[in-house]
């Protein structure tokens, strides 16, 4: 029977827990936090990208429900932690640099100028309202992704992919 899951060849035929265990052997230190993203598909997309970069975990702050179709079942292969409150999330972030990826507002700086640290948590928020002021008060750095067209920002799922790639380029490929 052919394994039709969206897996690289070395994981084909393995049970989901076996895939998760194998990935755990090479997980990196990157963590992702998603705060009150309204469009369920975006959360699933971010989870899928976090799996692609083998992030150590994804934190969902606030609303727990999301469209797992966007994750393409990759939520089975990494740790996803739900935090009902911001305080619960912050308790898990000791000794980590919190970096908000936000629109070009509130003193944010261009992403391409960021020098990442190994123990980074990238934070993404709602497309409509962004990251809450309450959470922004706790971040070490706020960055935006430069836009060269008529829109002021890229989709939050695309922004997550760009930011994860930049962290990977700097930390894992050096």
If you ran DSSP here, which 8-state letter would residue 33 be given?
E
Please determine, for residue 165, whether its predicted confidence score (pLDDT) is greater than 80. Answer: yes
Q: What is the mean pLDDT of the chain?
A: 90
**What local confidence, expressed as pLDDT, does residue 126 receive?**
83
**Residue with more model confidence, 26 or 69:** 26
Q: Once rounded to an integer, what is the mean pLDDT over residues 39-65?
A: 86
Q: How high is the pLDDT of residue 97?
A: 98
Strands (E), the chain: 31-35, 57-61, 79-83, 97-101, 109-110, 120-125, 141-144
pTM for this model (two decimals): 0.92
Look at the domain 26-171 and name its fold.
Alpha/beta knot (3.40.1280)
Report the relative pairing of strands 141-144 and 97-101 from DSSP bridges: parallel
Helix (H, G, I), strand (E, B) or coil at 3: coil
pLDDT digits (tens, 9 = 90+) for 92-110: 999 999 999 998 676 899 9
């Amino acid at each position: 029977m052919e394994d039709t899951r969206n897996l690289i060849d070395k994981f084909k035929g393995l049970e989901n827990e076996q895939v998760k265990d194998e990935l755990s052997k090479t997980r990196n230190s990157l963590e992702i936090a998603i705060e009150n993203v309204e469009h369920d598909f975006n959360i699933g997309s971010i989870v899928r990208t976090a799996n692609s970069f083998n992030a150590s975990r994804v934190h969902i702050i606030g609303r727990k429900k999301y469209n797992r179709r966007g994750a393409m079942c990759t939520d089975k292969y990494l740790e996803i932690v739900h935090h009902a409150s911001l305080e619960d999330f912050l308790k898990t972030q000791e000794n980590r640099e919190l970096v908000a990826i936000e629109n070009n507002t509130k003193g944010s700086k261009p992403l391409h100028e960021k020098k990442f640290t190994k123990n980074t948590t990238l934070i993404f928020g709602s497309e409509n309202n962004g990251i809450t002021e309450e959470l922004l008060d706790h971040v070490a750095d706020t960055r935006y992704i430069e836009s060269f067209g008529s829109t002021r920002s890229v989709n939050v799922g695309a922004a997550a992919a760009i930011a994860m790639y930049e962290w990977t380029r700097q930390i894992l490929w050096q």
